[in-house]
Structure 1
């Protein structure tokens, strides 16, 4: 049942991979369901929805509560093992990395300063490009150093889930979760501002070498490079290599044609 519990014979309480999956699992109380949340995969919307469903906040106006309460609905081992329904949202790995850069790096959020520290502060965040970011992930331990670009496969508590939803078709998750566990999904995008849905998307050029500062200037003007426009052939092949397991997971559980580069 559990994905990493038998990977080694240490006490399960000291099995780092299993405990990581537990830390990113949330109970939905009234349906005895478990949601494994993966950063950059619509998790703010679903964490908000679970918090409302569990009766801890009234609505999106208290939405910032979720950012300090990721562990509040963490299940016990028994609760995780006896859940009636388990679900997770996956995302095209190419789009997820692009989203991280356009969101976290362009806005210079705290995760990005930690990234700079890992590189011994030898990078200027304003000058950083998507190409430089992706290439840096090939240097250990960068790929697993932050939850926003850590491989999605490492968040999976279970070997099998009842439903694997693709963020690219999130409307299916909304209707299925309502039908199966009576969960009302509350859109958190107005709270977080993480998405690109309010921008004019630019597809007319190669933005792989465009600095984070220049992209920030574009965003202030209401424009933003598309996810695809951040990639060149070299970066596409590098991500295919670095995130091969995630691409295989997405292909198996979702629709391969929804990958940015099938």
Structure 2
């Protein structure tokens, strides 16, 4: 059924995460956990709202400050998005937001009727929780990446797994100078020792939190066993398809989770 654009919730959500670089009229789609802090800090500096990285926390209450209007979406000079392996993105969300019990954990806790075990929750149980229909899209950090895509086709797609080699092109085409925000946010696993000794799908939050305090964390792939990798692959199959179509399967944690399209 055709509806007015203002009543199109899917478009409104995606448009709200399409951010404009005003000096160059470039539009960047912001997807959480996909280098989003680095990109938002860089965009805030390009748009003159912060002078330098010392003001980086400005980005948190200003996620939609630069959201594109319909005119800006239509007239953009350059449009781009950064995508990520869905299995890696979900593992990153868990280790960052859930293990550290940020507000995202407590929002899920309430959504689950206060029934999550705040000490014993495992990655497998986290997947159980977000797999429920009312939970999968309840938080932008684990919401499918496909929901953020406002354009049918972007001028450029970049894989987070190859972000370092893409920075030069992004700067040249978008007009932004990219400032690495990872040392400031400390959201990722780039500054800890990655543990690959065993599967941690059923390791409780309390043990994972202790590992983080010791400067260690499971490698993303080690949060999965075969059954869990298959389940998450089915849950985020559309995202896997989009990623594979653009970049192939070499950087997917579990390439076999890609289900062949039926002709």
Q: Which residue of the partner structure matches residue 69 of structure 1?
A: 62
- In the alignment, the residues of structure 1 paired with residue 150 and residue 229 of structure 2 have an alpha-carbon distance, to the nearest angstrom, of 28
Instruction: State which of 94, 97, 101 in structure 1 corresponds to 2:90.
Output: 97
Paired residue total: 255
Post-superposition shift, 1:114? 0.4
Deviations 1:105-146 (CA, angstroms, capped at 9, x unpaired): 111000110001110001112211001111222221111111
Counterpart check, 1:183 vs 2:176:
yes
Post-superposition shift, 1:213? 1.3
Q: What SS does the corresponding residue of 1:161 show, helix, strand or coil? A: coil
- In the alignment, the residues of structure 2 paired with residue 154 and residue 85 of structure 1 have an alpha-carbon distance, to the nearest angstrom, of 20
Q: Which is worse superposed, 158-167 or 169-178?
A: 169-178
Q: Is the 8 A contact 1:92 1:250 kept in 2?
A: yes
- In the alignment, the residues of structure 1 paired with residue 218 and residue 71 of structure 2 have an alpha-carbon distance, to the nearest angstrom, of 46
Q: What SS does the corresponding residue of 2:79 show, helix, strand or coil? A: strand
Q: Which residue of the partner structure matches residue 261 of structure 2?
A: none
Post-superposition shift, 1:177? 1.3
- In the alignment, the residues of structure 2 paired with residue 250 and residue 181 of structure 1 have an alpha-carbon distance, to the nearest angstrom, of 22
Post-superposition shift, 1:182? 2.8
TM-score normalised according to structure 2 size: 0.95
TM-score normalised according to structure 1 size: 0.95
Post-superposition shift, 1:172? 2.8
Counterpart check, 1:118 vs 2:114:
no
Post-superposition shift, 1:253? 1.4
Deviations 1:13-68 (CA, angstroms, capped at 9, x unpaired): 11000000111011011111100000011111001000001111011100000111
Q: Which runs of 4+ in 1 moved over 3 A?
A: none
Q: What SS does the corresponding residue of 1:107 show, helix, strand or coil? A: coil
Q: Which residue of the partner structure matches residue 259 of structure 2?
A: none
Question: What are structure 2's unaligned runs of at least 5 residues?
Answer: 256-263
Question: What are structure 1's unaligned runs of at least 5 residues?
Answer: 1-7
Q: Which residue of the partner structure matches residue 100 of structure 2?
A: 107
Post-superposition shift, 1:78? 0.8
Q: Which residue of the partner structure matches residue 231 of structure 1?
A: 224
Post-superposition shift, 1:223? 1.0
- In the alignment, the residues of structure 2 paired with residue 137 and residue 126 of structure 1 have an alpha-carbon distance, to the nearest angstrom, of 18
Instruction: State which of 146, 159, 166 in structure 2 corresponds to 1:153.
Output: 146
Q: Is the 8 A contact 1:165 1:172 kept in 2?
A: no
Q: Which residue of the partner structure matches residue 51 of structure 1?
A: 44
- In the alignment, the residues of structure 2 paired with residue 221 and residue 40 of structure 1 have an alpha-carbon distance, to the nearest angstrom, of 23
Q: What SS does the corresponding residue of 1:89 show, helix, strand or coil? A: strand
Counterpart check, 1:12 vs 2:5:
yes
RMSD: 0.9
- In the alignment, the residues of structure 2 paired with residue 205 and residue 190 of structure 1 have an alpha-carbon distance, to the nearest angstrom, of 28
Q: Is the 8 A contact 1:45 1:185 kept in 2?
A: yes
Post-superposition shift, 1:193? 0.9
Deviations 1:122-171 (CA, angstroms, capped at 9, x unpaired): 11122110011112222211111110000000000100001111110111
Q: Which residue of the partner structure matches residue 215 of structure 1?
A: 208
